[in-house]
Amino acid sequence: MKKKILSVVLSLAMAVSMCACGAGKGSENKDSGEMAEVTLGTTSWPTNMFFYLAKEKGIFEKNGVNVNIQDFSSTTESTNAFVGGKLDFCTFASSETISPFAQGGEFSIVLETDKSNGCEGLVATSDIKSVADLKGKTVATQLYSVDHMFLLTLLDKNGMTEKDINIVDMSIQESGNAFVAGQCDAACIWDPYFSQAKEAGGTELFSSADEPDLITDVLGASKSLCKDNPEAVTAVIKSFFDAVAYWKENPDEANEFMGEKLGVTADEFAAQMAGLLIPDAKGVVEAFTEADDYTYWGYTQNTVRDFMYELGVLDSNDTDCGDMIDASFVKSLAE
């Protein structure tokens, strides 16, 4: 989660080429008889490594698409490239899709790649037994990160707001270190700092395992590619699922390869994956099906949207995040 910071300022890329989004090669090769070529931007995150595995094992080629994967050092950079028309696909932390879409980004969310399942959460000193006990306490987290939104969601579910606590803005690493050093009463953080805080005697008040639908990751595709070459979109999504299947059948080999790509050992990669859930095609369809609870991706992001509006990150909260979803591709695979 260390690079999952909300993309708040995207005006430069939007001004440069909003209408060009999706001007990759994917739409050019639809009728040429050649294999479609597309570009995919991503950052360092465990499930994003499955795209590299798909390329390494020839899975993309098998499914009829040539994918050029571009690695970015931050999600802000990858998002700017995507909305600026330099990429056909882009990986996102779900909350990071809201700001660019609200500003007019021409893209669709076509796949949910994972759900957080215990790799982040809210940890507190032993005298604090519940979220309600945080009233008047000092809580460290990184403002505008997904864990900040996670914290606000927990407060809201317990009839509280950020005004009921004292939020200290620190990086996630600094927040974890501050908690271990006894400099704050609680911290909302992700691994490895979440695990380290618990090992140091912290009490887990809530983790993403309690509500996996709150923190998710997704794949976006340009609207032009979805319209002009839907076969390429389906091929990329299918290749992700095929790579996951390969990993399950060859865990040692796959963990070694993807761990190296991520810059960790095979064991460390396996441990990080243990804190995540990867839905199958039917599971993604369920997440993209409208409902009035967190099982629906659009509902969850609308909740985050409202928090962002209250924090002044968005100018309005009238964007329906459900409008981002294009479930047609994953539905065809689920059937």
pLDDT confidence of residue 192: 84
> Is 1 within a domain?
no
In a domain, 18, yes or no: yes
Same domain flag for 232 and 325? yes
Judgement on whether residues 323 and 221 belong to the same structural domain of the protein? yes
CATH of the domain at 293: 3.40.190.10
Q: Looking at 210, 236, 270, which one is the last position of a domain?
A: 210
Indicate whether 268 belongs to any domain. yes
Evaluate if residue 310 carries a pLDDT over 80.
yes
Task: Give the model's pLDDT for residue 26.
Answer: 53
Single out the residue in 210, 225, 258 at which a domain terminates: 210
Task: Give the count of beta carbons closer than 10 Å to the beta carbon of residue 330.
Answer: 27
Total domains in the chain come to 2
Cβ-Cβ contacts under 8 Å for 14 (sequence gap 6 or more):
83, 84, 100, 103, 104, 105
134 and 47 in a common domain: no
The Cα–Cα gap between 249 and 243 comes to 10
Q: Are residues 324 and 225 in the same domain?
A: yes
As a whole-number percent, the residues of the chain with pLDDT over 70 amount to: 90
How many helices (H) and strands (E) would you count in the chain? 15, 11
pLDDT of residue 187: 98
Domain identity same for 48 and 195: no
6 in any annotated domain: no
The answer to whether 21 touches 223, Cβ cutoff 8 Å, is: yes
Mean pLDDT of 43-53: 95
Mean of per-residue pLDDT scores for the chain = 90
Enclosing domain of residue 166 = 120-210
Going by C-alpha positions, the residue among 133, 145, 231 that lies closest to residue 185 is 133
Confidence of residue 33 (pLDDT cuts 50, 70, 90): low
| Same domain? 139 vs 228 | no
- Name the pTM for this structure: 0.84
Q: What is the pLDDT of residues 146-179, one digit of tens each?
A: 899 899 989 999 999 999 999 999 999 999 999 9
Q: Based on the domain organization, do 225 and 93 belong to the same domain?
A: yes
